[in-house]
Amino acid sequence: MAGFLRIWRPRGDVAAAELNGGAVLATVKTASQLYPAPSLRAMVTALRSFLRFLYVTDRVSVSLVGAVPPLKAWPRTALPSAIPAAEARRLVAGCDTQTEAGRRDAAVLLVLLRLGLRATEVARLDLDDIDWRNGQITIKAKGGHDDVLPLPVEVGEAIAAYLQRGRPSKPTRALFLTVFAPIRGLSGEAVALPVRQACRRAGVAECGSHRLRHTLATETLRAGAPMAEVAQLLRHADQATSSIYAAADVAAVAALARSWPEVAR
């Protein structure tokens, strides 16, 4: 529900009486462009429960559950959508690294772009996950296990700049913190906010953090890496999960297509 409310009323001035079918539909449509399918499904499920609660407790005069659009249940029916590499670089370049928020956002964007982390994985990072001596970072991944990845120099430098001149001095061990009080570790949903802000600054179509994971995968394939390497980079247990990215570069796939044979008359 936090994701829905953040999109509907970004300033936080929420009033149930002002909620209507049009607002519900428009907000879910916007969320569909920002969140990956699993997060979107979770948000919609919570939203339906919330709308039922509002109705049965007389906070709204009519049930708005019917205004929530159905979601397609078929997985992998479309190509993953990636941001072109040039646009991705503009997202990072647009961060004002003279400010604390800009240094944090630059580090978050580079972690997403160079390591391909999921938003929840970025949110779970803490200070103890970075092994500066060996140039490694530990990721608390799906399934409750840890993955150890090399820490690219560019990413390490951005994180170090944030820690030295950006991160508030607080007792929490979370790596990335909010800028404004109450100071706390970023949530998975909050990780998407710097991405959307960077898109607006760079003049790029607004997207969520998962699009940057797609960008890493497609650019790695485009550079000639084998599928097994991409699967390892994305930490997919099954290489078939990564195989959809082989078709993500439409231009490259089109070059493999043969013309339709003419029928002899």
* Catalytic residue flag (residue 214): no
- Any catalytic annotation for residue 173? no
Considering only CA atoms, which of 119, 33, 34, 37 is closest in space to residue 77? 37
Q: Identify the three-state secondary structure at position 130.
A: strand
Examine the residue annotation and report whether 210 is marked as an active-site residue of this protein: yes
Q: How far apart are CA 18 and CA 127, in angstroms?
A: 42
Choice among 6, 103, 167, 210 that is catalytic? 210
Concerning whether 142 is annotated as a catalytic residue, the answer is: yes
- Among 103, 104, 118, 167, the active-site one is 118
Angle, to 10 degrees, between the axis of helix 85-93 and the axis of helix 188-202?
Answer: 100
145 carries an active-site annotation:
no
213 an active-site residue?
A: yes
Q: How many other C-beta atoms can be found within 10 angstroms of the C-beta atom of residue 81?
A: 14
Share of the chain residues as helix, strand and coil, in percent rounded to the nearest 5: 55, 5, 40
Amino acid (one-letter) located at 218: T
Which entry of 142, 165, 173, 200 is annotated as an active-site residue? 142
The number of angstroms, rounded, from the C-alpha of 46 to the middle of its chain's C-alpha atoms is: 19
Handedness of CA 51, 52, 53, 54 (dihedral sign): positive
Query: Which residues are CB-contacts of 225 (< 8 A; sequence separation ≥ 6)?
Result: 233
Q: Which of 6, 103, 213, 235 is catalytic?
A: 213
**What are the residues facing 185 on neighbouring strands?**
177
- The catalytic site residues sit at 118, 142, 210, 213, 236, 245
